[in-house]
Structure 1
Amino acid sequence: MKYFWSRHVWLRRSAYGLVVLLTIMCVALLYIAYVYMPPENREHKSAYLTLLEEKHLDGYIDAGNFRLHYLRQGEGEPVILLPGGGAWMYDMRGIVDALAPHYAVYAIDSPGDGYTTPLTKNPDYNSIYTLDSINQSLLAFMNAQHISRATIIGNSWGGAMASISQRHILSECISMFR
């Protein structure tokens, strides 16, 4: 084999060149995937968001560390919907339409998703995207909407947040009455 590579220098150089090229391409791809952060475009509005704004169904509330984007539809006992991770309230539109004739439905874009944004300009993501911070934001949202008790329903990550939030809110209410 050694004889083959020493006899075909052009093939050896081509193979080394291909290895170097593939390495550079992998490094560039990893840079794009994990380091490069393009500026976020908040100017674009989806057709669904435009429809909500036209019907005056959505709004924003500064709650805790976040400016929460929410939808409110229907009358009755309050139900709060939290979509899964990486999703926004658009994923809950069918559930909102089904529940709205019977309940006051609030669909909230979870912090980090949809149109919910941090209140500070360059936040420390490790400190504001914690379950405690998100729970405080949900409690502040409920206080701002004058919701003393509600059913919280979540999908996927939203389900985990709903479960933890309900325990957190319950403990907050118990400590208020001590």
Structure 2
Amino acid sequence: MDRHDDFREFVLARQQVLMRTAYLLTGDAHLAEDLLQSVLIKVAGKWPKLSGGNPEAYVRKALVNQYISWKRRPRPEVLGTELPERGASHDDAALHRIVLRQALARLAPRQRAVIVLRFWEDLTEAQTAEALGCSPGTVKSQAHHALARLRAFAPELACLLNDSEMEEVAR
């Protein structure tokens, strides 16, 4: 048995969930793949120490930290500001997803991380605080401010941006 078999099993079992988190953080499939790959490379070296604890929480925290680190580096970000025209091929849910993703891209990295972890990953405030290395009060404050900014960036989604419906819009 190879010493990395446990790590391979973990990655195979949790890859989709971790990829979704990376995608929601970056908003781009290719960047999400790069983010996840860079984190998994680092985690592979530390695997013997992690496998006994909660490796998924560790990897999630590493994704957030690496994402925030990447956002500090200046990179050109190309986002379309124009919404597609309404037509027979676009339903309301698709338009809502586009508008929401554009609004998420405008949030500060930590605010976006809070929204992703709280509403898409469905973590508690305490789990989110642990993942971000801050207090639960900071998570509450960041979530409150992030939701207010999302409502300001996309007023047409204000009715959708509450705790219970946010997850449904992103699907």
Scaled by the length of structure 2, the TM-score of the pair is 0.34
Q: Which has the larger radius of gyration?
A: 1
Give the structure with the larger strand fraction: 1
Scaled by the length of structure 1, the TM-score of the pair is 0.34
